[in-house]
Amino acid sequence: MGSTVGVKKEEKLVKIILSIIGCLFLIMLFCMLVMVGIVTVVNRPRGDREEVLSGKGANPKKALIIYQPALTNVTRQAAKQLADGLNAGGYEVTLNHPGNHLTVDLSGYDLVVFGSPTYAGQLTKALTQYMARGCPQLAKEGAEGPRVVLFATGGVDERQEFDRLAELLSGVKVVREVKFLTGDKEYAAKAYALGAELAQE
């Protein structure tokens, strides 16, 4: 009698453990699907959305900001504030999203800025694929080419997304690699200050 009760208790325990493992598996699967969904959405090409801020004077310096916006507004806001900072310093600034509509000949610019959010420790493919097309040309121009700035946005104060691009950026005149943290209330002001600072250099 006592051993039958013991066996039933064991069976119940096994059922509970199996249910917990099943639930954990389903939660993991759900998280993975959400992650894949997010990464797919953020990598979607946003098309040709050129915006131009006129510069000061007859022959202003020119900057191009190529950024991939994502789900919230942080990367877009950082790109726009950076553009405003450069523009206040006299630059003509063109903003657009990465994609096949963009030329890879960036030699007409004094400054080129690449910007993207970070997902799973990587910048968006939409941006890095464009960079893979444009950077060899920038590397060829070397010191004669435009200054290049790379910015990432993200929630984690780590920089592995920049390390991953080291090879791609080899030979390119990179003057800043900056990460704007989503939890930093000052990130927009910092982006503006960066633009203003770059305009003075």
CB 39 within 8 A of CB 119: yes
Asked whether position 37 contacts ligand FMN by CB under 6 A, the answer is no
Binding positions for ligand FMN, 103-132, rule CB under 6 A: 117-121
User: Rounded to an integer, what distance in angstroms lies between the CA atom of residue 67 and that of residue 45?
Assistant: 11
In what helix (H) or strand (E) does residue 91 lie, and over which residues does it extend?
Answer: none
CA distances from 145 to 55, 88, 157, 158, 173 (A): 20, 23, 30, 29, 7
Nearer to ligand FMN, 55 or 115 (CB): 115
Task: Lay out the site mask for ligand FMN across 46-85 (x = CB under 6 A, - = otherwise).
Answer: -----------------------xxxxxxx----------
Task: Give the CB-nearest residue to ligand FMN.
Answer: 154
Cβ neighbours of residue 182 under 8 Å, at least 6 residues apart? Answer: 72, 74, 153, 154, 155
Applying CB under 6 A, does 87 fall inside the site for ligand FMN?
A: no
- In the complex with ligand FMN, the residue whose CB is nearer, 26 or 32, is 32
Q: Please name every residue paired with 110 in a beta bridge, in sequence order, or none if there are none.
A: none
By CB under 6 A, residue 189 contacts ligand FMN: no
By beta-carbon proximity to ligand FMN, the closer residue of 27 and 71 is 71
Yes or no: say if 174 and 148 are a contact pair by the CB < 8 Å rule. yes
Looking at residues 139 to 178 of the shown chain, list those that interact with ligand FMN (rule: CB under 6 A). 153-156
Nearest distance in Å: CB 76, ligand FMN: 6
For residues 92 and 123, give the distance between their C-alpha atoms in angstroms, rounded to a whole number: 26
Interface with ligand FMN includes 33 (CB under 6 A)? no
Residues lying near ligand FMN in the complex (CB under 6 A): 35, 38, 69-75, 117-121, 153-156, 182
